[in-house]
Amino acid sequence: MSFNYHRIIIKIGSNVLTQPNGLPDLKRITHLVEQIAAIKKQGIEVVLVSSGAVASGRSLITVSEKFDAVAARQLLASIGQVKLINTYANLFEKHEMLCSQVLVTKEDFRDRLHYLNIKNCLDLLLQHQVLPVVNENDVVSVTELMFTDNDELAGLIASMLNAQALIILTNVDGIYDGDPKLDTSKVIAEINNKGVDFSSFVSSDRSQFGRGGMITKTHMAQKVAQLGIAVHIGNGTKENILTDILEGKAPHTRFIPHKTASGKKKWIAHSETSATGIVEINAGAKAALNSSKATSLLPVGISKIKTDFKKGDIIKLVDEHNALVGLGIAEYGAEKAKERLGQKNQKALVHYDYLYLQ
């Protein structure tokens, strides 16, 4: 089955771009650029989220063991990003294409204003037929402010730009139903329903240079597919993988997209770290919100206002075990919410249109 997209996000992991010795694999990067150029020539808009700065840095400098991991990553990424982006610029120039560098940190998405600032810039680049090459800026983003990895960043970009698909290239054929190293394990071709428990067959093992692992990939892929964006996970080391995935020829894992969510819901879905308030909802409200009927969060379903928040803030909805149920925009502040706690016939605290369910 081939796919007819007009805007896609392509994420390439470190292990696809590097040889086993950690040096950049120029032959493979060249082949991937050829494929991306061919896709762009079909009129498909592409944003590339590329790891590999740290890996490129390793090919240029040796870091003494005495430096901690954060400092080493900053040093390697600062040096390596120059080499990485220059490699892309020179290779795309051969196809008469212009690429650009977009380095971001999680902080750049902290509120709607900053989020829209990045969105506007990426939209402008695409309008000018430029290929944005996005990467997390490891030089300035420190541990607590970092994305888990570029999979998370790629999922955010796909949602922000209302892409039809996110293609994630890693060093295995897709998500296996067991340990990928075992012959008995098979690639799962399609994943449809949210809430699949991947922990029974996705291990926390990461590839040699990967940062997030398959667990972060699957969680991000489920969230993005739930927002209405198809997610394809395939093997970036295979010949013609990108064009073959689009033509439905390559074995890989596809997360089937659900109903397309609004732009606002997509933003809310990626705003957990900027949430200020936390409200605990009761079992009845949890069941109602997760039913097929569009339901707002009413005060009658709230059991506790756990933290302060203002009207318009992003708030977390948690259950009695403090597990995240969803995120939403508060229609009024915590004080008013406390006054209305448990009451019937009161205005919704979170309207359905501004509610994202995990």
Ligand X SMILES: N[C@@H](CCC(=O)OP(=O)(O)O)C(=O)O
Ligand Y SMILES: Nc1ncnc2c1ncn2[C@@H]1O[C@H](COP(=O)(O)OP(=O)(O)O)[C@@H](O)[C@H]1O
Give the footprint of ligand Y on this chain (CB under 6 A): 13-15, 170-172, 175-176, 180, 201-203, 205-207, 210, 212-214
Selected binder of ligand X within 10, 29, 54, 279 (CB under 6 A): 54
Torsion 121-124-126-130 (CA) sign: negative
What backbone phi and psi angles, to 5 degrees, belong to 91? Answer: -70, -40
Of 211 and 286, which CB lies nearer to ligand X in the complex structure? 211
- Smallest gap, in angstroms, from Cβ of residue 176 to ligand X? 18
User: For residue 46, which of 12, 84, 80 has the smallest C-alpha distance?
Assistant: 12
- Smallest gap, in angstroms, from Cβ of residue 154 to ligand X? 8
58 binds ligand X (CB under 6 A): no
Selected binder of ligand X within 210, 301, 326, 328 (CB under 6 A): 210
Q: Is 322 annotated as a binding residue?
A: no
Binding mask 166-205 for ligand X (x = CB under 6 A): ----------------------------------------
Selected binder of ligand X within 32, 33, 36, 53 (CB under 6 A): 53
Q: Is 138 annotated as a binding residue?
A: yes
- Smallest gap, in angstroms, from Cβ of residue 224 to ligand X? 15
Selected binder of ligand X within 25, 45, 138, 280 (CB under 6 A): 138
Of 51 and 296, which CB lies nearer to ligand X in the complex structure? 51
User: Which entry of ligand X, ligand Y, none binds 172, CB below 5 to 8 A by partner kind?
Assistant: ligand Y
Strands 355-357 and 324-329: antiparallel
Residues 6+ apart with CB under 8 A from 120: none
Contact in structure between 294 and 265 (CB atoms under 8 Å) = no
Contact in structure between 254 and 231 (CB atoms under 8 Å) = yes
Strands 314-318 and 302-305: unpaired
Of 109 and 354, which CB lies nearer to ligand X in the complex structure? 109
Q: Is 11 annotated as a binding residue?
A: yes
User: For residue 133, which of 19, 53, 238 has the smallest C-alpha distance?
Assistant: 53
**Strand (E) positions, 194-334?**
230-235, 253-255, 277-281, 302-305, 314-318, 324-329
Q: Is 150 annotated as a binding residue?
A: yes
What backbone phi and psi angles, to 5 degrees, belong to 319? Answer: -95, -175
Contact in structure between 147 and 213 (CB atoms under 8 Å) = no
User: For residue 47, which of 11, 81, 75 has the smallest C-alpha distance?
Assistant: 11
Tell me the Ramachandran region of residue 302: left when phi exceeds 0, alpha when psi lies from -120 to 50, beta otherwise. Answer: beta
User: Which entry of ligand Y, ligand X, none binds 53, CB below 5 to 8 A by partner kind?
Assistant: ligand X
Of 210 and 299, which CB lies nearer to ligand Y in the complex structure? 210
User: Which entry of ligand Y, ligand X, none binds 88, CB below 5 to 8 A by partner kind?
Assistant: none
What residues are designated binding site for substrate? 51, 138, 150
Binding site for ligand X (CB under 6 A): 13-15, 51-55, 77, 135-136, 138, 149-150, 209-212
What residues are designated binding site for ATP? 11
